[in-house]
Structure 1
């Protein structure tokens, strides 16, 4: 391209390029690039002029060439697909008439901060430095799938919206980011896809607004994060899919509103997470799916737990904050899979690890009661007897209460009406208390029950005392055996 073919605005950009000098067409700091379609020729640059600069622009000895442009309207399509560009590309506060294309290109740096674009085609791009889309506004799909970014990817305050796109509007699947993915305040109207992506550092989605109601808002299956995944103070309308994700640090969902009533609001099944924080936020509107997840520290406040959970084969080392068992157990009862013994064992282990044996016993008692409802009628009946009498062995003092009550009943009854001796001349003096003990305790004999024989209704009372004594003894032995075996 000959320089004589350039407009005044383009010539200014052309002359600044060899020295890497910035060109700023902005007339005021607060102007909005969304109004760029009305900007005149004095600040309009054709995309083919920029392409010519990037692929073969002039050089100046001793200077580092760079394209640094702000406040311009860029007409036509900036197409550098498959190209290798050895200098930074900074197009800030610009208005693009068409979506730039840099598919499979290799760049030093790409900066489109605070620009307005009808999309971006940059899948499989390689960037040796950073990619900046800070406060950029994209009215079409942003394609960064398979991108290789050596530095960080900045999306803070950016907005991506593509009505009726029929596909994810922010595509980062299979991308590899060598540092951080920095996106606090990100707004996406449609699905964000991070499936198979890898971020060596941390991901910050604090105060993000992700909306795809009724569908997946954030799809991040097998997503790998070397640091933390922070989604604090965010609002997500649609599901968050983290199946098979690997998060070395903290997945922090504190103060965040998750809403997907059609299914799982958070699906982190088969994932490995250092710490999962669900706290200080409203209960998620939708199910919490942690099936087969492995978590070192589960920070879960009961108030943040949803009405439906899936916890089959979830394993965690620590559960914080420390809460009474009565506040933790209702969540296990809301498991969509029904009775899951493993969930109760995990909670028991967590309480024992911090030395709260009382809470551990309450969890085990709740487990036995839940298990009882899965048995046939005769198993439920026997379980009910064990529960009422000794609380499945976890409340042994209850047996003593029953024994004392029956002892008092029998002692009073037989004191008012002595049973007849079997052999009057050989019978010892009648003692109503020891006679009742003889009936209640099957392995102890004071010689009273063999010397006297009650009649009528008192004989029925004696049979009842014998039967209840055997039941109490059996349940105590069964309960104690169960408790000792767990210890």
Structure 2
């Protein structure tokens, strides 16, 4: 393209390029590029001119050529498919009339910050430095699937609005980032897809808003992060899906608001997470799915737990904040998978790990009671007897209470009406306490039971005490055996 074919605005950009100078057409720093459609020819640059510069522009001796442009209206489509661009590209505060196309292009650096675009096509793009789209506004799809960015991707304060696109509006699936995905304050209307992406550093989504009601707001299945995900104060309408994700650091959802009524608000099944923080925010609207997840430290406030959870085969080392067992058991009762023994074992283990053995026993007792509901009637009957007698072995003092009560009742009854001796001349002196103990204790004998013969109602009382003694002994043995085996 010859220089005499350029408009005055384009000629200015053309002359600045070899020296790496920045051209700023803005009349004021607070101009809104959304109004760029009305900008005149004095600040209009054709995309074809920019393409010609990037692919074959001159270089000044001793200078680093680069394209630096601000406040321009860019007409036509910037076609850079498969191109190799050796110069930094900085198009800030610009208004694009058509979607730039950078499919499989290779660039040193790309900066579209504070600009307004109808979308971006950059599948498989390779950026040797960073890709900046800080506070950029998109009114269409942002396609970065399979992108390779050696540095960071900056999307802080960006706006992407394409709720009726019928596909994810921010596509970063299979992308590879050599540093961070930095997007605090990001606003997306439509689905954000990070499926299979790899981020060597950290993902920052603090104060972000992801809006895809009735669908998936963030699809981060099989995401791999080198550090953690900071999503504090995140607001999401639609599911957050971290199924199969690998987050060795923290998945921070403190003060988050997650909502997907009638479906799953947060799914992190089969994931491996260092720390998951769910605390300080509003109660999840929708289910919480942590099936088969492995979490070193789970921070889960009871007030954030929704009506339905899925905890089958969830494993965690520590659970905080420390709460009474009753508050945690309410969560297990809401498990959509029904009775999950492993969930109770995990909760009990977390209490034992911090030395709260009383809470651990409460959880184990609740597990037996929940299991009892799954048994046939005769199993439930025997379970009720074990529960009433010794709390399935976790309430051993209860056996002593039953024993003392029966001992007091029998001693009183036989003390008021002693039974007749079988052989008066050989019988020992009658003792109502030891006689009752002889009836209650199946193995121990004090010589009282064999020496006296109760009659009528006394005989029936003796039968009752013998039966209750055997039941008490059996439940004690069963409970103690269960406890010893578990330990």
Relative to the length of structure 2, the TM-score reads 0.98
Aligned pairs (5 A) from 1:20-419: 20-419=20-419
1:425 positional shift: 3.1
Distance in 2 (alpha carbons) for counterparts of 1:437 and 1:220: 67
Deviations 1:121-154 (A, max 9, x none): 0010000000001000000000000000000000
Question: Could you list the per-position Cα deviations for residues 199-237 of structure 1 after superposition, in whole angstroms to 9, with x for gaps in the alignment?
Answer: 000000000000100100000111000011111011000
The number of residue pairs the alignment matches comes to 487
How far is the alpha carbon of 1:328 from its aligned partner? 1.4
C-alpha displacement of 1:59: 1.6
CA RMSD in angstroms comes to 1.0
Q: Distance in 1 between matches of 2:176 and 2:262?
A: 32
Structure 2 unaligned regions, length at least 5:
none
User: Secondary structure of 2:449's partner?
Assistant: coil
Is the partner of 2:471 in helix, strand or coil? helix
State how far apart, in whole Å, the 2-side matches of 1:369 and 1:6 are: 83
Q: Distance in 2 between matches of 1:262 and 1:103?
A: 39
CA deviation map 1:106-134 (0-9, x unaligned) = 00101000100000000100000000010
Aligned-residue offset at 1:421:
2.4
Distance, in Å, in 2 between the alignment partners of 1:282 and 1:104 is 42
How far apart in 1 are the matches of 2:349 and 2:411?
Answer: 45
How big is each residue's C-alpha offset from its partner over 1:399-427, in whole Å with a ceiling of 9 and x where there is no partner?
11111111111111112222222233333
Aligned partner of 2:479 in structure 1 is: 479
Q: Distance in 1 between matches of 2:173 and 2:38?
A: 36
For residues 407 and 244 of structure 2, the distance between their equivalents in structure 1, rounded to whole angstroms, comes to: 61
2:163–2:212 CA contact under 8 A, matched in 1: no
Q: Matches of 2:7 and 2:344 in 1, distance apart?
A: 74
Q: How many angstroms apart in 1 are the aligned matches of 2:460 and 2:162?
A: 82
In structure 1, the residue corresponding to 2:316 is in which secondary structure? strand
- Runs of 5+ consecutive residues of structure 1 not aligned to the other structure: none
Q: Spell out the pairing of 1:7-22 with structure 2 (5 A cutoff).
A: 7-22=7-22
Indicate whether 1:452 and 2:452 are aligned: yes
Over 4 Å off, 4+ runs:
none
Moved more, 102-111 or 273-282: 273-282
Shift of 1:444: 1.4
CA distance in 1, matches of 2:347, 2:53: 64
Alignment TM-score, normalising by the size of structure 1: 0.98
| Distance across 2 between alignment mates of 1:228 and 1:220 | 13
8 Å Cα contact 2:46/2:74 also seen in 1? yes
